[in-house]
C-alpha cells in the first residue's frame, strides 16, 4: 500500500482529483484518440458532463493497476 501511495503521489502530483481527457493524455503519454478509445471500452472509468468526459484519479489508478495485472490480456490488433 505504501508503494501504491508513493506511485500515486509521483504520477498524479499537481493534477486535480477529477481529470480531463487532456490531463489523462499527459499522464499516460498517449494521444487523445487513445484515451477516448480507452474510455469507450471502459465506461466505469468516467462520467460525462454534457459532452465533456471527466475521469476521477482513483479510477485511472485502478485502470493502470488492471493493466499491470497478470490476469489482464492485451488486446490483439
CATH number, domain with residue 8: 1.10.10
Q: How many domains does the chain have?
A: 1
Predicted structure pTM score: 0.78
- Which pLDDT does position 8 carry in this prediction? 73
* Domain-embedded: residue 77: no
Q: Extract the C-alpha cell encoding 6.
A: 508513493
Residue 13, C-alpha cell as written in the block? 502530483
pLDDT tens-digit map of 29-62? 999 999 999 999 999 999 988 889 999 999 999 9
Domain that holds residue 30: 2-65
Alpha-carbon distance 66 to 77, whole Å?
19
Amino acid at each position: 500500500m505504501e508503494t501504491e501511495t508513493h506511485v500515486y503521489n509521483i504520477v498524479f502530483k499537481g493534477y486535480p482529483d477529477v481529470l480531463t481527457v487532456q490531463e489523462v493524455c499527459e499522464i499516460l503519454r498517449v494521444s487523445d484518440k487513445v484515451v477516448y478509445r480507452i474510455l469507450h471500452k471502459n465506461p466505469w472509468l468516467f462520467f460525462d458532463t454534457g459532452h465533456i468526459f471527466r475521469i476521477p484519479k482513483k479510477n485511472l489508478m485502478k485502470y493502470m493497476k488492471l493493466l499491470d495485472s497478470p490476469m489482464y490480456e492485451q488486446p490483439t490488433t
